[in-house]
């Protein structure tokens, strides 16, 4: 194994920093398409969790545009990022290295949440909450899908 083998785990952590449920939704979509992840796919091998991940991913995209949406760095926001990044980071890590992948994803997601929040606040001041959120959605969902697809192809 080389460092490049763990890059998808770090990248999915960066995705989780901006959209906590996108990594899980991307993995759920891959699971529904019968694609195998390099590492163990925790929880999402159960239909209820797969459906829940997709619903929560879509719900987060909608809820993020609301004026009452909390910052991603509040306790529950960070907790969601830790859980999602950990599960996704493990699934995208090489078999036998799931714990390392989870730790790397979490270690990327938490500090990056503060950076992505700062960027989003700047964008909100320039173009507003809805436009900045839609742009962030496109970038982050696209990145999440690309990272998952790349990791599965490398498998």
3-state helix, strand, coil split of the chain in percent (to 5) is: 75, 0, 25
89-130 confidence digits (pLDDT tens) = 999 999 999 999 999 999 999 999 999 999 999 999 999 999
Of 6, 55, 5, 66, the C-alpha closest to 29 is 55
| DSSP assignment letter at 40 | -
Per-residue pLDDT tens over the stretch 138-147: 999 999 999 9
Residue 149's pLDDT band, with cuts at 50, 70 and 90, is very high
Whether 32 contacts 100, CB under 8 Å: no
Query: What's the pLDDT score for residue 37?
Result: 94
Mean pLDDT over residues 11-33, rounded? Answer: 96
**What φ, ψ does residue 102 adopt, rounded to 5°?**
-65, -45
List the alpha helices (DSSP H) in 47-128.
47-63, 75-92, 98-127
- State the Cα–Cα distance between residues 79 and 110, nearest whole angstrom: 9
Tens digit of each residue's pLDDT (9 = 90 or more) over 27-80: 999 999 999 999 988 788 889 999 999 999 999 998 888 888 889 999 999 999
Q: Tell me, what's the pLDDT at 46?
A: 87
Of the pLDDT bands very low, low, confident and very high (cuts 50, 70, 90), residue 155 is confident
- Checking if the pLDDT of 154 tops 90, the result is no
pLDDT of the residue at 2: 84
């Amino acid at each position: 194994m080389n460092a490049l083998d763990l890059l998808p785990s770090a990248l999915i952590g960066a995705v989780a920093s901006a959209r906590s449920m996108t990594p899980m939704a991307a993995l759920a979509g891959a699971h529904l398409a019968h694609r195998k992840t390099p590492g163990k796919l925790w929880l999402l091998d159960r239909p209820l969790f797969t459906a829940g991940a997709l619903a929560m991913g879509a719900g987060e995209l909608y809820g993020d545009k609301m004026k009452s949406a909390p910052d991603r760095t509040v306790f529950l926001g960070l907790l969601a990022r830790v859980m999602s990044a950990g599960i996704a980071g493990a699934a995208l890590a090489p078999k036998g290295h799931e714990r390392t992948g989870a730790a790397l994803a979490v270690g990327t997601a938490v500090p990056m949440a503060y950076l992505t929040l700062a960027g989003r606040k700047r964008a909100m001041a320039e173009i507003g909450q809805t436009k900045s959120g839609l742009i962030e959605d496109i970038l982050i969902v696209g990145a999440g899908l690309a990272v998952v697809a790349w990791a599965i192809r490398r498998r």
